[in-house]
Amino acid sequence: MSKLQERETAPDVYNLFLAAVLFISPWLFKLTNSQGKIDLWVTSAIIVVLSLAAIIAYRDWEEWINVLMGVWLIASPWVIGFPHTRAMHLSIGFGIAILLLALLDLFLHYEKRHPEDDAAERAHR
């Protein structure tokens, strides 16, 4: 299957959902830290765009940027300066989930493209 014909996978859809929830989380959880709110809005908007792009036409680089966005969400409370706030807890929690889903998606697409690796491993046993 060529890269253009690859279909979306569940992790792309879940990342899209998580990014949408992350975008509205400042209102849902009544966040008061302005740096945290802006960071959550901007990062979630980037993840929404990347997830939609991955659903429409999958490319590995989209998932790698989602991995970076997950790492950013984990590190941003200390980099930007909103530690020990509700925004920090949301950022870290969503960051871990988005990071893991992006890595899972990369793994699933790698496995789909390289079935011969598994066959070669079984042949050596």
Task: Determine the Cα–Cα distance for residues 82 and 88; give it in Å rounded to an integer.
Answer: 6
111 CB contacts (<8 Å, ≥6 apart)?
Answer: 118
Question: What would the two tokens of residue 97 be?
Answer: 């989930």
Work out the percent of the chain whose per-residue pLDDT is above 90. Answer: 69
Q: Is the CB of residue 74 less than 8 Å from the CB of residue 99? A: yes
pLDDT at 119: 59
Mind listing the pLDDT tens digit for each residue in 82-118?
999 999 999 999 999 999 999 999 998 888 888 776 6
Task: Determine the Cα–Cα distance for residues 44 and 39; give it in Å rounded to an integer.
Answer: 8
SS3 percent helix, strand, coil of the chain, rounded to 5, is: 85, 0, 15
Task: Give me the chain's average pLDDT, please.
Answer: 88
